[in-house]
């Protein structure tokens, strides 16, 4: 029987490193995954930069964001973001919080990100904003309390990404693969939007185009293609990639072997004739 929890830990660790390797997440930020067999728990690393996360670093948490087992290592202060979203959205199975440089200008200005090209349609129909000042006044901007995380989850609502004013971004997905895809391409879409405004005459996707392109690009085929690419890039970055060596078909191998055998016998006959 496959070890679902072991596989989930490995996938989550690689997801952390992929998002970091693609330049979306840096020393700060975190990625989580709902437990593969217990929807009342989720998996997340202890407080460590995502680029460094390994499978053995992944811990289990309740949806109240308490560690299932006693843990001496420091935990992410903002893990409550993940627990609150999992409680509010049963269909969400993966969450990422990050501070991508391409999206921070939107968080500061209040300008709404729009889908600029087909892969950017993973933004979804709407991108809400959440401002901690509205409910809590001046804070240190770190989402640490149940009340703050529940307020953020309400702002996300049925959407897939929420911008946190003067702070960062939180992204959700039905699967870990969908989450990684959306996290990477919404950050790239934001960069395109800023660059397009420099040129002027910006023409974002229509609501209809967004509704068609988003689900299309989140199909298994496009997601698998992207993941193969990102995994190879990660392996190259970590020095673990080796190009696959394709073996010739069996018939071809037999033909080559037979040719070598005939050549060897001819050589032996010439040697005996000298």
Q: CB atoms < 10 A from the CB of 75, how many?
A: 16
Total number of domains constituting the chain: 1
202-258: pLDDT as tens digits: 999 999 999 999 999 999 999 999 999 999 999 999 999 888 776 656 655 565 455
Catalytic residue among 22, 60, 78, 91: 78
271 a catalytic residue: no
Q: Is 31 a domain residue?
A: yes
Q: Strand 129-130 to strand 161-164: parallel, antiparallel, or no bridges (unpaired)?
A: parallel
pLDDT for position 250 = 62
Whether the Cβ atoms of residue 70 and residue 43 lie closer than 8 Å to each other: no
Q: Is 162 a domain residue?
A: yes
Q: How confident is the model at residue 3 (pLDDT cuts 50, 70, 90)?
A: confident
> How many secondary structure helices (H) and strands (E) does the chain include?
9, 7
Task: Quote the domain boundaries for residue 223.
Answer: 4-237
Q: Is 205 a domain residue?
A: yes
pLDDT for position 143 = 97
68-82: pLDDT as tens digits: 999 999 999 999 999
176-212: pLDDT as tens digits: 999 999 999 999 999 999 999 999 989 999 999 999 9
Q: Is 28 a domain residue?
A: yes
CATH code (residue 223) = 3.40.225.10
Q: Is 223 a domain residue?
A: yes
């Amino acid at each position: 029987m496959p070890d679902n929890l072991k596989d989930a830990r490995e996938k989550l660790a690689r997801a952390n490193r992929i998002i970091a390797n693609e330049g979306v997440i840096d020393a700060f930020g975190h990625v989580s995954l709902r437990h593969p067999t217990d929807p009342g728990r989720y998996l997340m690393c202890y407080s460590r930069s995502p680029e460094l996360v390994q499978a053995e670093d992944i811990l289990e948490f309740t949806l109240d964001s308490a560690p299932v087992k006693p843990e001496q290592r420091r935990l992410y202060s903002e893990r409550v973001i993940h627990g609150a979203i999992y409680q509010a959205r049963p269909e969400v199975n993966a969450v990422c919080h990050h501070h991508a440089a391409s999206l921070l200008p939107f968080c500061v200005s209040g300008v709404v990100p729009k889908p600029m090209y087909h892969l950017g349609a993973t933004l979804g129909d709407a991108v809400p904003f959440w401002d901690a000042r509205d409910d809590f006044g001046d804070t240190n901007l770190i989402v640490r309390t149940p009340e703050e995380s529940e307020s953020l989850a309400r702002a996300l609502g049925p959407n897939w990404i929420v911008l946190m004013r003067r702070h960062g971004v939180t992204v959700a997905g039905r699967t870990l693969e969908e989450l990684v895809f959306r996290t990477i391409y919404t950050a790239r879409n934001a960069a395109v939007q800023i660059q397009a405004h420099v040129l002027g005459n910006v023409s974002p996707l229509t609501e209809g185009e967004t509704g068609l392109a988003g689900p299309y690009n989140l199909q298994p085929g496009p997601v698998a293609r992207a993941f193969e690419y990102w995994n190879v890039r990660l392996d190259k970055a970590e020095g673990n990639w080796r190009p696959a060596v394709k073996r010739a078909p069996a018939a071809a191998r037999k033909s080559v072997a037979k040719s070598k055998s005939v050549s060897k016998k001819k050589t032996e006959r010439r040697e005996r004739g000298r």
